[in-house]
């Protein structure tokens, strides 16, 4: 049984869904929610988490409840429809070109990039908020991508497993990347409990995590998940270098710095494997999926840009990017 608590609802749909998960039988209201908004994104997050660790108040067999699956499908249609409308893919687009575009440096001061901002002028408090929000993904890092493995063949499958093996610690529990991120959080004085910061996360943060689950749970979107995975690996090494530099400047402890320094070297290697074996292998087997791979790459960038814009605006205007709480001051460098 899970020990993860249900988060607080953010609107009529997520409220009715929360009651339904707890065993009540309300009729969910008509679905008119903003596809990128708090109510829909939280509702999707709740339904997707049934396929991960679940919730303490929700029986495990609700994972495959037909009514919940029908509600999830309706939410997914709205979310995926918005992504496809906002991220059109031209017939001439190629995965190679889309991946090359990821390596272009931002224009201007920090180009709306969180890693540049934190490296150059962010505060420790802002970094702690960033880590708290990223914990929604990093505490289950690599899990959504594992769903694509049985949907690949040959080169793509072998290379995907090789990269995932590294993500899961190469057989060592203390080296699992989710464990390393928990160590980073402890070093920054954050709560390391899975799902602890969901209530504090804006819809833009939920959307980045929900998209991975959406792509991972649908075989028809396997190309998009590979595109997302490639984006993560291509952009991770340079961004991790900047974030490690930020933490050193801020005086963070070794466990916090280590998470990003680990990714600088590992993901530089992973980038080449993903480009030349996972993506190229998939497209050699299924060339018709190229548009889906491009969509996955660009949809990832679209949602990451939305999250960066939200965080930077919140830090500028209100001083915090968290919805429901401020993280208490803490002494960093405390992780074992």
CA distances for 32 relative to 14, 29, 210, angstroms: 12, 9, 19
Confidence (pLDDT) at 174: 94
What is the rounded CA–CA span in Å between residue 189 and residue 168?
Answer: 24
H/E element, 296: helix 290-317
DSSP 279: I
Q: Which residues contact 168 (CB under 8 A, 6 or more apart)?
A: 142, 176, 177
Helix, strand, coil percentages in the chain from 3-state DSSP, rounded to 5: 65, 0, 35
Give CA–CA dist 305/196, Å, rounded: 24
Handedness of CA 144, 150, 152, 156 (dihedral sign): positive
Give 132: exposed, middle or buried? Use CB within 10 Å, 0-12, 13-18, 19+. Answer: buried
Q: What is the pLDDT of residue 329?
A: 53
Tens-of-pLDDT digits for all 336 residues of the chain? 689 999 999 999 999 999 999 988 877 777 777 999 999 999 999 999 999 999 998 999 999 999 999 999 999 999 999 999 999 999 899 999 999 998 876 655 566 899 999 999 999 999 999 999 999 999 999 999 999 999 999 999 999 999 999 999 999 999 999 999 999 999 999 999 999 999 999 999 999 999 999 999 999 999 999 999 999 999 988 999 999 999 999 999 999 999 999 888 776 778 899 999 999 999 999 999 999 999 999 999 999 999 999 999 999 998 999 998 666 655 444 443
Per the structure block, which two tokens stand in for 205?
Answer: 């943060």
Whole-number pLDDT of residue 115 = 95
Q: Which residue is listed with tokens 């830090």?
A: 315
The Cα–Cα gap between 195 and 200 comes to: 10
- DSSP code of residue 269: H
Query: What domains sit in the chain, N to C, each tagged with a CATH number?
Result: 12-86 (no CATH), 95-317 (1.20.910.10)
What is the structure's pLDDT at 107? 53
What are residue 207's phi and psi, to 5 degrees?
A: -65, -40
User: Token digits for 220?
Assistant: 């028809």
Q: What is the pLDDT of residue 334?
A: 42
CA atoms within 13 A on the CB side of 246: 26
C-alpha R_g of the chain: 19
Integer angstrom CA distances of residue 295 from 204, 260, 281: 18, 27, 18
| pLDDT value of position 328 | 62
- pTM to 2 decimal places: 0.94
Taking the mean position of all CA atoms in its chain, how far away is CA 250? 25
Q: Cα–Cα–Cα angle for 280, 283, 285, nearest 5°?
A: 110
């Amino acid at each position: 049984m899970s020990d993860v608590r249900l988060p607080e609802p953010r609107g009529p749909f997520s409220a009715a869904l929360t009651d339904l998960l707890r065993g009540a039988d309300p009729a969910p209201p008509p679905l008119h929610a903003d596809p990128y908004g708090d109510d829909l994104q939280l509702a999707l997050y709740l339904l997707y988490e049934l396929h991960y660790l679940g919730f303490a108040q929700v029986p495990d067999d609700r994972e495959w409840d037909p009514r919940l699956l029908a509600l999830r499908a309706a939410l997914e249609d709205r979310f995926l429809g918005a992504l496809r409308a906002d991220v059109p893919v031209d017939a001439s687009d190629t995965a190679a070109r889309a991946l090359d575009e990821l390596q272009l440096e931002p224009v201007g001061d920090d180009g709306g990039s969180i890693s540049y901002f934190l490296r150059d002028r962010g505060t420790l408090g802002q970094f702690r908020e960033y880590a708290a929000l990223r914990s929604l993904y990093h505490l289950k890092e690599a899990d959504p991508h594992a769903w694509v493995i049985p949907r690949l063949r040959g080169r793509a499958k072998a290379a995907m497993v090789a990269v995932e093996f590294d993500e899961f610690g190469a057989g060592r529990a203390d080296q699992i990347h989710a464990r390393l991120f928990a160590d980073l959080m402890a070093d920054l004085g954050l709560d390391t409990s899975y799902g602890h910061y969901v209530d504090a996360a804006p819809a833009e943060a939920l959307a980045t995590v929900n998209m991975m689950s959406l792509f991972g749970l649908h075989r028809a979107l396997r190309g998009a998940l590979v595109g997302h995975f490639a984006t993560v690996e291509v952009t991770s090494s340079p961004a991790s270098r900047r974030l490690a530099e930020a933490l050193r400047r801020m005086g963070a402890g070794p466990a916090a710095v280590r998470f990003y320094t680990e990714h600088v070297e590992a993901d530089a290697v992973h980038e080449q494997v993903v480009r030349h074996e996972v993506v190229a292998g998939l497209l050699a087997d299924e060339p018709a999926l190229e548009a889906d791979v491009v969509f996955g790459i660009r949809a990832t960038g679209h949602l990451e840009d939305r999250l960066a814009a939200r965080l930077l605006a919140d830090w500028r205007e209100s001083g915090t990017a968290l919805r429901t709480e401020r993280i208490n001051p803490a002494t960093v460098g405390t992780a074992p």
